[in-house]
């Protein structure tokens, strides 16, 4: 299957590593060939083509859509472009892998999900943290009842890349689909539903704390999107919890974190040490109680595909390889899509429910 990649920044590179690693680590049902890479100008596209191992480069993403030999369109361009690129790819009958957030608005994400299902193409949205073997373990422990009844949940995604007021206005500040909640909170929401099931209502509070930034040519731009968002959430099971999205959390570079408190035990996870899951057992003798550190190893699939030795650790780019393995299985009809456009729409609608709740100062059903 020939891949056309749109965008070669942070995620373009990560996706390229993911395709390369997936084909070496897993027994994939399809073979991916890195065919055509598009970026905004020829110089950038050609440099990335060479570095990332693509055959051809272009400065026009529509070349990928119009090329009948391309089977998979991989979109890692800024958020506001996802919709038109994905719709064009679907109309051309191609499978689509798109970064999150799927589209600026939930209504756009819904249009994309409907279009993909109607066209019968396979889709995947980049919620890579869910691919962590320790997430599967955590979900298994919750679902098997090992933690008992889940009393409460805490989910955070905090980083500090917008903490400096001098850092410029970017596509992440675009009122159409920008903000910490959409950018980072989307991951925290996906994790919460992955672990505990459907969130049924939310009460949000979204704040802009740096109201103005300069754009790339030095012009002042007002910031309308949130820098910090908090939400109370309630799950279908009745469990309640909280979600925080924060991109001004000085000192935090990757605090994608959750805590699950149950009647028989608790779990704590942080992406800052993502090859570990911390487990507390209520039934331990009182003088031996404490969180134990479970280290990722071959007993936590698919860790063993990467490394035969426990504790040697997998990395961020490997999560993309696992995501791509799931997408390949879906394309081959072996498995359902791990996180398709319908699932991407669900997350976008939760983001909007929290934003609406913050504006209206009221609980919103999701």
- Upper half-sphere CA count for residue 131 (Cβ side, 13 Å): 26
Stretch that binds ligand NAD, among 35-43, 64-72, 110-118, 238-246 (CB under 6 A): 35-43
Place of tokens 């805490």: 154
Closer Cβ to ligand NAD, 6 or 134, answer by number: 6
DSSP for 93-124 reads T-EEEEPSSSSSSHHHHHHHHHHHHHHT--EE
CB atoms within 10 A of CB 149: 12
Establish if 257 lies at the interface with ligand NAD (CB under 6 A).
no
Q: Sign of dihedral through CA atoms 42, 48, 50, 52? A: negative
Establish if 105 lies at the interface with ligand NAD (CB under 6 A).
no
Stretch that binds ligand NAD, among 2-10, 155-163, 208-216, 264-272 (CB under 6 A): 2-10
Q: Single out the residue of 2, 83, 94, 100 in contact with ligand NAD (rule: CB under 6 A).
A: 100
Site mask for ligand NAD (CB under 6 A), range 165-204, x = bound = ------------------x---------------------
Stretch that binds ligand NAD, among 10-18, 141-149, 159-167, 238-246 (CB under 6 A): 10-18
The secondary structure of 310-354, three-state, reads CCCCCCHHHHHHHHHHHHHHHHCCCCCCCCCHHHHHHHHHHHHHH
Stretch that binds ligand NAD, among 33-41, 66-74, 138-146, 222-230 (CB under 6 A): 33-41
Establish if 9 lies at the interface with ligand NAD (CB under 6 A).
yes
Site mask for ligand NAD (CB under 6 A), range 112-151, x = bound = --------------x-x-----------------------
Q: Single out the residue of 25, 34, 77, 106 in contact with ligand NAD (rule: CB under 6 A).
A: 77
E strands along the chain, which residues?
2-6, 33-38, 56-58, 72-75, 95-98, 123-125, 150-158, 199-207, 212-214, 220-222, 228-235, 240-246, 255-262, 265-270, 276-281, 292-295, 364-365
Task: List CB contacts of 297: < 8 A, sequence separation 6 or more.
Answer: 303, 304, 309, 310, 311
Between CA 332 and CA 335 the distance in angstroms is 8
Closer Cβ to ligand NAD, 128 or 366, answer by number: 128
Establish if 318 lies at the interface with ligand NAD (CB under 6 A).
no
Q: What angle do CA 238, 127, 315 make, to 5 degrees?
A: 115
Q: Which residue is nearest to ligand NAD (CB)?
A: 9
Q: Single out the residue of 4, 7, 241, 262 in contact with ligand NAD (rule: CB under 6 A).
A: 7
Closer Cβ to ligand NAD, 84 or 281, answer by number: 84
Interface residues toward ligand NAD, by CB under 6 A: 6-12, 38-40, 44, 61, 76-79, 81, 99-100, 126, 128, 183
């Amino acid at each position: 299957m020939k891949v056309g990649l749109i965008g070669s920044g942070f995620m373009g590179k990560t996706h390229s590593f993911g395709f390369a690693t997936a084909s070496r680590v897993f027994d994939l049902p399809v073979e991916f060939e890195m065919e055509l890479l598009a970026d905004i100008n020829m110089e950038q596209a050609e440099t990335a083509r060479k570095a990332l191992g693509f055959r051809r480069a272009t400065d026009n993403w529509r070349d990928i859509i119009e090329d009948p030999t391309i089977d998979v369109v991989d979109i890692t361009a800024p958020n506001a472009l996802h919709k038109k690129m994905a719709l064009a790819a679907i109309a051309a009958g191609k499978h689509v892998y798109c970064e999150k957030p799927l589209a600026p608005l939930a209504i756009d994400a819904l249009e994309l999900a409907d279009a993909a299902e109607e066209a019968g193409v396979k889709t995947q949205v980049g919620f890579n943290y869910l691919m962590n073997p320790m997430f599967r373990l955590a979900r298994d422990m919750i679902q098997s009842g090992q933690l008992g009844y889940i009393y409460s949940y805490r989910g955070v995604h905090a980083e500090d890349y917008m903490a400096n007021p001098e850092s410029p206005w970017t596509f992440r500040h675009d009122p159409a689909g920008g903000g910490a909640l959409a950018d980072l909170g989307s991951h925290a929401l996906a994790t919460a539903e992955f672990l505990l099931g459907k969130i049924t209502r939310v009460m949000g509070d979204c704040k802009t704390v740096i109201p103005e930034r300069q754009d790339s040519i030095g012009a002042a731009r007002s910031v309308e999107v949130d820098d910090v968002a908090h939400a109370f959430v309630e799950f279908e099971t009745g469990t309640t919890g909280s979600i925080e999205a924060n991109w001004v959390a000085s000192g935090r570079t990757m605090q994608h974190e959750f805590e699950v408190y149950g009647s028989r035990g608790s779990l704590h996870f942080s992406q800052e040490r993502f090859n570990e899951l911390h487990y507390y057992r209520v039934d331990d003798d009182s003088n031996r109680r404490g969180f134990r550190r479970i280290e990722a190893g071959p007993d936590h699939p698919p860790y063993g595909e990467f490394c035969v030795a426990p504790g040697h650790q997998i990395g961020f780019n490997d999560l993309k390889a696992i995501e791509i393995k799931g997408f390949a299985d879906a394309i081959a009809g072996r498995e359902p899509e791990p996180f398709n456009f319908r699932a991407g729409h669900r997350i976008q609608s939760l983001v909007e429910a929290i934003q609406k709740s913050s504006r209206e100062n009221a609980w919103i059903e999701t």
